């Protein structure tokens, strides 16, 4: 079991407990459209509770990725409310705390890994949240060790293979010690050994999670509850 | 609300607690990052940047051929000490001297002065030839030293060093991002280009060709903007608020002191030759 590392990072000390009955995320009546186009989300309600492993499925363009981006505050809903970690979130400052406590894995790892080396990329998040370079380096090494990727620490991110990139991208998220994981097609484009390895890693992680995927077998092995996005709401 | 269908969760048996045989395939050692044995290995990147700038300034200030020949010799020596090899040096020199050839070749004929020789009625001057030689020597010395000091270290290191030396974070980050994403952009370009070729596209001197290339680069540009937005979003997800944090910490070592000593000796030699020549 990969235990959340006991990161003693300043800004995180003020975390409110997220256990008990309060869901980690509670979305109510969310409505969202890109520009003046048709609504992507239309009155969506959803809750993610501690320890839940949710499969988010739906056809292409049904708004799955948009939903995760809304939960992280990367785009803002036109209607409805987002509650995360016990508080309503609507401003950039409010979502800043959400981003410290929930980790989003992007579809394309090239979007996520922008630092020159693996260790710098994993340290990026902890540094942003107030860790010293020494602490950040230790967190990065701990995370890589926990995932069995320590040999990659000083590798250039642009020279990693596709499978390595995905696992390192996951490491950059886990390095933030999140309480919830939002994974956008984590197994897409991976070969079978890498998918198996990813499943094994996810299985050992304690965090609540939402996983978007079109791979039914992968979802069957990594999630316990299934939600389908249809017509802008959960079907 | 979504249904709460419980998907059958399969237990993933993992008796060894390891990652199985695939682990080796995933963690192959990277061969192309193994640096060649170099006397400059371990020299602080900040010193490399400062060293190449100081050397460039000194060389540009020199105005006699012999000190410049010494400067080129010092630069060649540094390239060899950096373990870069004659082949890479040759490639850099070919690119540099190829681009300067026209200037160097025409300067003797366009600079007035004492007559030296004539070709097809055009007279070359001593002053012109000297000037051309000086320019060629200066350019080669500076380029070789930059190759030796900067080319023998990874670009990200240079980026971090620039940042530490007071270059604005945005500029240093631009360099780092360029290093990171140039290959990604290259891949995208090749994918689009392949997609054109498999549908029979061939470069011709035609409106269709120009229009298609316009579409290609337009698409590349649009995708780059999309990617930049996604990268920005990924950075914000990890708490980025406009300030680039720095992980790399540099510390001067004994090796740096040795480098400083050798660099000072080289500059003193240049100065001595220059004074002796005068």
Q: What is the pLDDT of residues A168-225, one digit of tens each?
A: 999 999 999 999 999 999 999 889 999 999 999 999 999 999 999 999 999 999 999 9
Chain B residues with beta carbon closer than 8 angstroms to that of A114: 177, 180-181, 231, 234-235
- Rounded Cα distance between B213 and B219, Å, is 10
**Pick from A111, A107, A85, A115: which is nearest to A179 by CA?**
A85
Kindly report the nearest CA distance between residue A234 and chain B, in angstroms.
5
Q: Residues of A116-127 as b/e, b for ≥16 C-beta within 10 angstroms?
A: bbbbbbbbbbbb
- Give yes or no for residue B14 having a pLDDT over 80: no
- The residue-averaged pLDDT of B257-278 equals 89
- Rounded Cα distance between B156 and A92, Å, is 31
The pLDDT of residue B103: 84
Whether residue B227 and residue A225 make contact (CB cut-off 8 A), yes or no, is: no
Q: What is the pLDDT of residues A29-79, one digit of tens each?
A: 999 999 888 899 999 999 999 999 999 999 999 999 999 999 999 999 999
Chain A residues with beta carbon closer than 8 angstroms to that of B22: 193-194, 196-197
Measured between CA atoms, the residue of chain B closest to residue A105 is B234
Whether residue A193 and residue B25 make contact (CB cut-off 8 A), yes or no, is: yes
Measured between CA atoms, the residue of chain B closest to residue A194 is B22
Q: B278 pLDDT band (50/70/90 cuts)? A: low
Select the residue of A47, A155, A199 nearest B12 (Cβ to Cβ).
Answer: A199
Give phi and psi for A212, each to the nearest 5. -90, 130
Q: What is the pLDDT of residues B213-234, one digit of tens each?
A: 999 999 899 889 999 999 999 9
The pLDDT of residue A231: 92
Interfacial B residues in 180-219 facing A (CB < 8 Å): 180-181, 183-184
Lowest mean pLDDT among A31-35, A42-46, A135-139, B193-197: B193-197
Examine the predicted complex and report whether its ipTM is higher than 0.95: no
Whether residue B10 and residue A221 make contact (CB cut-off 8 A), yes or no, is: yes
Q: What is the pLDDT of residues B105-128, one digit of tens each?
A: 888 888 888 888 888 888 888 888
Whether residue B236 and residue A74 make contact (CB cut-off 8 A), yes or no, is: yes
What value does the CA radius of gyration of chain B take, rounded to a whole number of Å?
A: 27
Q: A6 pLDDT band (50/70/90 cuts)? A: very low
The pLDDT of residue A9: 40
Select the residue of B4, B33, B236 nearest A225 (Cβ to Cβ).
Answer: B4
**Pick from B239, B123, B8, B34: which is nearest to A123 by CA?**
B239
Chain B residues with beta carbon closer than 8 angstroms to that of A227: 2-3
Whether residue B9 and residue A137 make contact (CB cut-off 8 A), yes or no, is: no
Chain A residues with beta carbon closer than 8 angstroms to that of B176: 115-116
Interfacial B residues in 236-265 facing A (CB < 8 Å): 236-241, 243, 245-249
- Give yes or no for residue B7 having a pLDDT over 60: no
Whether residue A224 and residue B7 make contact (CB cut-off 8 A), yes or no, is: yes
Alpha-carbon distances of A161 from A118, A164, A196, B272, rounded to whole Å = 12, 5, 16, 53
- Give yes or no for residue B17 having a pLDDT over 50: no
Chain B residues with beta carbon closer than 8 angstroms to that of A110: 181, 184, 227
Select the residue of B27, B230, B237 nearest A72 (Cβ to Cβ).
Answer: B237
């Amino acid at each position: 079991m990969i235990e959340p590392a006991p990161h003693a990072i300043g800004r995180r000390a003020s975390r409110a407990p997220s256990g008990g009955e309060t869901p980690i995320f509670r979305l109510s009546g969310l409505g969202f459209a890109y520009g003046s186009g048709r609504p992507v989300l239309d009155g969506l309600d959803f809750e993610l509770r501690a320890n839940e492993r949710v499969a988010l499925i739906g056809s292409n363009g049904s708004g799955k990725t948009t939903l995760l981006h809304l939960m992280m505050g990367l785009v803002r809903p036109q209607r409805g409310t987002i509650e995360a970690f016990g508080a309503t979130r609507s401003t950039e400052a409010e979502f800043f705390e959400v981003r410290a406590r929930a980790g989003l894995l992007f579809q394309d790892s090239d979007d996520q890994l922008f630092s020159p080396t693996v260790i710098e990329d994993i340290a990026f998040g902890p540094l942003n949240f107030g860790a010293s370079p020494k602490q950040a380096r230790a967190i990065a090494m701990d995370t890589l060790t926990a995932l069995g990727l320590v040999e990659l620490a000083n590798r250039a991110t642009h020279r990693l293979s596709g499978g390595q990139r995905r696992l390192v991208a996951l490491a950059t998220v886990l390095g933030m010690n999140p309480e919830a994981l939002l994974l956008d097609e984590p197994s897409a484009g991976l070969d079978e050994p890498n998918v198996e390895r990813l499943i094994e890693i996810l299985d050992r992680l304690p965090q609540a999670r939402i996983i978007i995927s079109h791979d039914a077998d992968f979802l069957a092995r990594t999630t316990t509850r299934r939600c389908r996005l249809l017509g802008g709401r959960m079907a | 609300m979504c249904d709460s269908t419980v998907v059958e969760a399969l237990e993933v048996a993992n008796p060894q607690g390891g990652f199985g045989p695939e682990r080796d395939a995933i963690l192959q050692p990277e061969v192309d990052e193994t640096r060649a044995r170099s006397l400059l290995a371990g020299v602080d990147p900040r010193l490399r940047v400062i060293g190449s700038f100081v050397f460039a300034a000194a060389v540009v200030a020199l105005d006699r051929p012999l000190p410049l020949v010494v400067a080129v010799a010092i630069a060649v020596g540094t390239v060899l000490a950096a373990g870069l090899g004659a082949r890479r040096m040759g490639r850099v020199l070919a690119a540099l001297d190829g681009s300067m050839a026209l200037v160097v070749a025409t300067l003797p004929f366009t600079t007035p002065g004492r007559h030296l020789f004539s070709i097809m009625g055009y007279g070359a001057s001593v002053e012109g030839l000297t000037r051309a030689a000086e320019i060629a020597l200066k350019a080669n010395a500076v380029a070789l030293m930059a190759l030796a000091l900067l080319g023998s270290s990874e670009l990200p290191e240079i980026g971090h060093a620039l940042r530490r030396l007071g270059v604005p974070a945005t500029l240093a980050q631009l360099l780092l991002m360029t290093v990171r994403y140039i290959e990604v952009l290259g891949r995208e370009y090749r994918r689009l280009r392949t997609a054109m070729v498999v549908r029979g596209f061939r470069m011709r001197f035609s409106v269709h060709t120009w229009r298609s290339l316009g579409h290609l680069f337009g698409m590349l540009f649009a995708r780059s903007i999309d990617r930049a937005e996604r990268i920005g979003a990924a950075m914000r997800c990890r708490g980025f608020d406009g300030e680039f944090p720095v992980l790399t910490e540099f510390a001067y070592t004994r090796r740096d002191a040795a480098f400083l000593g050798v660099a000072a000796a080289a500059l003193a030699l240049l100065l001595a030759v220059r004074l002796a020549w005068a």
